[in-house]
A and B are shown apart, each in its own frame.
Chain A
Amino acid sequence: MNRLVGWVRTALREIWALVVDDWILAVSSLAAIGATFAVSRIDAVGSGNATGWLLVALVVTAVAASVRRAVAARLRPGR
């Protein structure tokens, strides 16, 4: 029984890691999508191409920040 519980726990942890291995990146990507949705509701901006590029720019920034954070963590003394 304990073995089964352990197996299920490991599987759930690994399934979670399939979706999120840097939760700040996941949250900031979701925030980018939320911001794009909000902007697309503004009549003056709406369905213009700029709204799509806003999304792309925000997600690029999220990836760059996440990578930079990982590099900084690697360089931190004691690592």
Chain B
Amino acid sequence: MVLEFLVAIVPVFVASVVECVEAWTVVVAVGLTRGWRAPLLGVVVAVTVIGALVVAFGATLVDRIDEQLFEVVSGTLLSLFGVRWMRKAILRSIGVVALSDEHVRYRKTLDALGNERTEQAFDWAGFSIATKTMLLEGLEITFLVITLGASGGASYPVAITGAVAAFVVVGAVGWFARAPLDNVPENELKGFVSVMLVTFGTYWVAEGVGVDWAGGAWGLVYLFAFWFVMMRLIARWASRGLDTATDTALAEFPEVSA
């Protein structure tokens, strides 16, 4: 029961914090430069659409799909989603991909919109950019709520609570800060969530095809530990390639290091 609760709420909450921080940066950029009415209305529209998707698809999956088939389908989707996040987290941790920077996102949004307040009665550009960003980030949350929440029992409302709690917390902090939330360790959180997603994904796919994990649901715990270690080892292995290349370059062009 406790494990079921944690499975539903922890990854959804942490992933939702990451996505809400990204979306909030864009909303703040629009709000501070062009006024709050249009971006906040965009947030309301996006949240309504996301809520409708969660209710429509979630209820269908929970009520109508065979449990084993559901485990294979949701496990496959979680694995695909998780390996994508894990790859990005590893590449960021070893410096191959730039770290997610809320100030950069904030500046980019300002550049895209122009810094001046609009003269129009309603700021359609601000509305559309806030709606689009919130919807795209929200789709990832929707996906996690549906796949993790529909794993049975009371998980679905628990997963929804996790997502809503993250939205409220980030929204409240962001509203009072009125600035990009760059103190949130987004990249570390993303790495942590990726480990959880591939853990649930591989656990459920295997269970769906008939595997009985040793220890039952405790399999989630040792799989999580295993995937965490693997992520660190892959990062170390891949960064060794980078170090070797840097050493070779410095040996060939010593003036670079001067």
Contacts and interface: CB of A to CB of B under 8 A. Distances in A.
B90 A18 contact: no
A49 B213 contact: yes
Given A29-B83, A46-B210, A70-B96, A55 B234 contact: no
A11 B84 contact: no
**At the interface, is chain B mostly helix, strand, loop or mixed?**
helix
Interface of B: 72, 75-76, 79-81, 83-84, 86-88, 90-91, 94, 96-97, 128, 132, 135-136, 139-140, 198, 202-203, 205-207, 209-214, 219, 223, 226-227, 230, 234-235, 237-239, 241-242, 245
Contact of B83 (A18, A51, A52, A63): A63
Nearest to B94: A71
Contact of A18 (B140, B206, B230): B140
B237 to A, nearest CB: 7
A68 B83 contact: no
Interface residues of A, number: 38
Contacts of A70: 87, 91, 96-97
Q: Which 7 A-B pairs have the closest CB atoms?
A: A52-B206, A40-B209, A52-B211, A47-B210, A67-B238, A64-B234, A75-B245
Interface string A8-52: 000100110011111001100110010011001000001111011
Q: SS class of chain A's interface: helix, strand, loop or mixed? A: helix
Contacts of B97: 70
Contact of A74 (B96, B214, B219): B96
Contact of A48 (B87, B91, B203, B211): B211
Contacts of A22: 84, 87
25 contacts: A15-B136, A25-B83, A25-B84, A25-B87, A26-B83, A29-B80, A29-B83, A36-B205, A36-B206, A36-B209, A40-B209, A47-B212, A48-B211, A49-B214, A52-B203, A52-B213, A55-B202, A67-B87, A67-B90, A67-B235, A68-B237, A68-B238, A68-B241, A74-B96, A75-B245
B83 A67 contact: no
Contacts of A40: 209-211
Nearest to A48: B211
Contacts of A55: 202, 205-206
A59 B84 contact: no
Nearest to A37: B209
Interface in A51-75: 51-52, 55-56, 59-60, 62-64, 66-68, 70-72, 74-75
A33 B230 contact: no
B87 A29 contact: no
A24 to B, nearest CB: 11
B139 A15 contact: yes
Given A25-B87, A29-B79, A59-B202, A71 B96 contact: yes
B251 to A, nearest CB: 15
Contact of B238 (A37, A48, A71): A71
B139 A49 contact: no
A33 B66 CA distance: 19
